[in-house]
Structure 1
Amino acid sequence: MEWEPISEVKLWNDINNAFDRMSLEQRKTWEIIKIHPEKWQQEPWGNEGKGFWVVAIIGNNVIWFNDIEDGFNQSTYTSYGTINEYYCNQDELEWAVQNIINMLKDGYDSARPSSAPQPIA
């Protein structure tokens, strides 16, 4: 079976299902940071699917869906439309939102991002 990027309809289903699982605090935060999903570039991992869906922005951070690894991630951006780092955490959306809450409350990133494959030699 050949990999295909997630459709916007499937992404919305995932977002709506995650919203149903969110705590009240997560829902309040989500309502402030969410955006209408947009495809953003990420070199080189996002090239095949013509980018990754960004679903939330706060400061210089985005929450985006990695459809290669099937999970939400948080990365920084410098230029609007381009994700700086590739991560493959496979988080649920509510976990990514909770990490934003932790950063705002306690000043630390609890996500422990998993990075892209690295060359062995």
Structure 2
Amino acid sequence: MSWEPISEIELWDKINSACDRMTPEQSKIWEIIKIHPHKWQEETYGELGGGFWVVAIIGTSVVWFNDIEDGFNQSSYAEFGKIAEYRCNQDELEWAVQNVINLLSDGYYSAGKSGPPQPIA
């Protein structure tokens, strides 16, 4: 079985399911940061599927769905439309939103930042 990028319809299914699971606080923040999903470029692994779906923007960070790893991530961006950091967290959307809440209230990144495989030196 070969990998295929997630469709926008499948992505909306994941977003809607996550919204059903969100706490009131998560829902409030989600309503502020969410955008209509758009594909953004990512140089490392993003070309294979034509980019990754960005679903929220907060400051210089985006929340996006990594359909290779099947999870939501938060990464920085310097240029609109280009994700600067590849992440391979397998987080649910509500976890990514909770991380935004933690950053806003406590100033710490609670999700961890799983990156791509690194060669052994």
TM range (shorter): over 0.9
1:26-81, Cα deviation, whole Å (9 max, x unpaired): 00000000000000000121010010000000000000000000000000000000
* Cα distance in 1, alignment partners of residues 18 and 89 from structure 2: 16
Note the 1:107-118 alignment, pairs <5 A. 107-118=107-118
* Cα distance in 1, alignment partners of residues 2 and 13 from structure 2: 22
* Cα distance in 1, alignment partners of residues 44 and 31 from structure 2: 31
Q: CA offset at residue 106 of structure 1? A: 0.4
**Structure 1 length-normalised TM:** 0.98
Pair 1:71 & 2:82 matched: no
Q: CA offset at residue 120 of structure 1? A: 2.3
Structure 1 runs not aligned, ≥5 long: none
How much identity, in percent, do the aligned residues show?
A: 70
* Cα distance in 1, alignment partners of residues 39 and 55 from structure 2: 9
Structure 2 runs not aligned, ≥5 long: none
Pairwise CA RMSD: 0.6
* Cα distance in 2, alignment partners of residues 105 and 71 from structure 1: 24
* Cα distance in 1, alignment partners of residues 108 and 3 from structure 2: 35
**Structure 2 length-normalised TM:** 0.98
4+ runs deviating over 4 angstroms: none
* Cα distance in 2, alignment partners of residues 120 and 48 from structure 1: 25
The equivalent of 1:23 in structure 2 is 23
The total of aligned residue pairs comes to 121
